[in-house]
Amino acid sequence: MTSETAAPLAVEALVRGHRLRLVEIAPWLIGGLAYFLFPDYLALGAQILIGIIFSLSLDLILGYAGIVTLGQAAFFGAGAYTAGLLAAHGWGEPLSALVAAGAVAAILGLISGAIILRTRGLTLLMLTLMISFMLQEAANKAGSITGGADGLQGMAVWPVLGVFHFDLYGRTAYLYCLAVLFLAWLAARRIVHSPFGRSLTGIRENEARMHAIGSPVFGRRLVIYTIAAAFAGVAGALLAQTTQFVALEVLSFERSGAGLIMLIIGGVGRLYGPFIGVPLYMIAQDRFAQADPVYWDFWIGLLLILVVVFARGGVLGLADQLRRRLRRTR
Amino acid sequence: MSAALETTGLCKNFGALAVASAIDFRLERGARHALIGPNGAGKTTFINLVTGALRPSAGRILLDGGDVTALPQAQRVKRGLARTFQINTLFRGLSVLENVCMAISERLGVAGDIHRPAGSRREVIDQAYAALERLGIADDAPRLVRELPYGRQRLVELAVALGLEPKVLLLDEPAAGVPSTESGIIVEVIESLPQDIALLIIEHDMDLVFRLARRITVLVQGAILVEGTPQEIAADPRVREVYLGEHVSP
């Protein structure tokens, strides 16, 4: 017998999947309030917002499509240098530079993805790592253009929309990053709830079956890899524009790794994983670094071990578990 | 009239090992055809060659008279070829309903859409739900696949493949891993499939083969030993040799 309740339940869950829930406003309320409550921490705030966009790009490929990578900084760095070089050579208009940075990173993602996405697992992991190493070394060697190890100097970024000057307190920088993150969130949200986004989840869950139902798996992986590269490029450009400086570090393995750690802390494969993991990691890092300037890495490591051992699925996964337990005891 | 599926001179070598040698095979429209053979005979290799998961070393594969030998897996599916797997190959972390939605989105060509939300595609969801109702597993629609008992998952395997509305359906041991008390449901579902679907069933369980198949092909060491009606196969001394292990090289 088909029950009358199971049917609508399952169908409704899918039909309503993409509707905005009230709790999804929370990040924007908090982001807006933080601007007024912590005026002395806006520089850190902007870093966090940029980190969320970067982590979101990782979430799209790793969390949703199951593409493992240790080289996402390649695209972050490509975006940062694109915006940096434009501003250092007379084009300081920030919005068009942001678009250019996203485009450069996307092209890089498309070309490298077309080659490396034919591999899987450890091979793919190594290839992503190698691409970011190669780019970092290229940026180091091309010191006359990039400034090499000294970093790219002499950027002059014009006011946003010709009106909002980047100020010493980081007010414009913070709001600029918040606005861009909002657009990135809209785009990411649309992607993950679309049939395309669901098919990425299918690829992560079972690639053999996706082939068997006629899905062009390689093409889908390449599309999301390219989109995620653009996200990372935009994040990199934001960092360059708001700090008016680009260091080789933007291409570093450490940046790829930290992005991954923040995503794991928040919750992989969930739209709001980066929104939880990045602030938690970066605020903890800031606090630990002040309390223990030498060994703060140790405390970050301990935090990560605790998450991996006790909260698989990150903070959001833990929240889900608690909610389920509460419902059962009721 | 062309066959639903045909292979001519199909060969696959792994180094010096021939796992498929010159297989000439015809699957008629609406067929109920079983492919049997001892372990290692190359049955699953044959399926993988037909679906395109493996590239043949030589030979041709025709679907509905059209040559698909060079086509990738996805293109063959678009031409009406579907399969199930010997070991459940499902989206374990997704609901039963969404497992079937995946297949239907691909068939309707909306799965690559990045703009509209998946939930607004009511036709996909409704068709998926109807498919579950036909197999009698609509009650399980909201449950995650990994929470289902293995036998139920076997039915989801079938539902996903049927969501593609195939003309040719390859069933790789559809009752494998299911206790005999529950395999009856699976047999009933297979028996009730539309007659215009050509079925090729790989199976070890001889009761099941003789119940479902109207034609049987016996594969031994990558080559076709004999093909015939169930009666002919049951009476064939060579088949008995292979299955009773009496086969001794002269």
> Distance from B245 to chain A by nearest Cα, in Å?
35
Angle in degrees, CA A8, B88, B68, rounded to 5: 100
pLDDT, tens only, A22-66: 899 999 999 999 999 999 999 999 999 999 999 999 999 999 999
What pLDDT does A7 receive? 62
A301 Cβ contact list (under 8 Å, min separation 6): none
**B163 interfacial to chain A (CB closer than 8 Å):** yes
Q: What is chain A's mean pLDDT, rounded?
A: 92
Q: Tokens 């059962």 — which residue?
A: A328
Whole-number Å distance between alpha carbons of A320 and A317: 5
B111-136 pLDDT, tens digit each: 999 999 998 889 999 999 999 998 98
Q: How confident is the model at residue A107 (pLDDT cuts 50, 70, 90)?
A: very high
Of A1, A18, A205, the CB nearest to B119: A18
pLDDT band at B171 (very low <50, low <70, confident <90, very high): very high
**Which of A16, A195, A211 is nearest residue B113 as measured by Cβ atoms?**
A195
- Check residue B245 and give its pLDDT: 59
Cβ–Cβ below 8 Å for B73 and A214: yes
What phi and psi, each to the nearest 5 degrees, are found at residue A314? 70, -170
CATH number, domain A23-329, options 1.10.3470, 2.60.40, 3.40.470, 2.50.20: 1.10.3470
Residue found by looking up tokens 């509460």 in the block: A326
Decide: B26 and B84 in contact? Cβ < 8 Å.
no
CB atoms A199 and B106 under 8 Å: yes
DSSP-assigned letters across all residues of B47-105 = HHHHHTSS--SEEEEEETTEE-TTS-HHHHHHTTEEE--SS----TTSBHHHHHHHHHH
Domains of chain B, by residue range, sit at 5-244
Could you tell me the residue ranges of all domains in chain A?
23-329
Mean pLDDT to the nearest integer, A243-267: 93
Residue B249: what pLDDT?
A: 42
Assigned CATH for B5-244: 3.40.50.300
pLDDT given at position A302? 87
Which pLDDT belongs to residue A330? 66
Residues in chain B within 8 Å Cβ distance of A209: 85, 89-91, 102, 160
Q: Using a CB-CB distance cutoff of 8 angstroms, which residues of chain A are in contact with residue B139?
A: 1-3, 6
- CA–CA dist A213, A229 (Å, integer): 28
Question: d(Cα B237, Cα B240) in Å, to the nearest integer?
Answer: 5
Query: What is the percent of chain B where pLDDT is above 90?
Result: 74
Question: Residue type for A158, please?
Answer: W
> ipTM of the assembly?
0.91
* pLDDT higher than threshold 50 for residue A123: yes
- Evaluate if residue A2 carries a pLDDT over 90: no
- Does the distance separating the beta carbons of B78 and A10 come in below 8 Å? no
Q: Is the pLDDT of residue A1 over 70?
A: no
Pick the residue from chain B with its C-alpha nearest to A3. Answer: B139
More confident residue, B193 or A289: B193
CB interface of B with A, residues 113-152, below 8 Å: 113-122, 124-126, 129, 133, 138-142
B77 — contact with chain A (CB < 8 Å)?
yes
Return the pLDDT at B234. Answer: 87
Interface test with A, best of B75, B98, B145 (most A CBs within 10 A): B98
* B1: DSSP letter: -
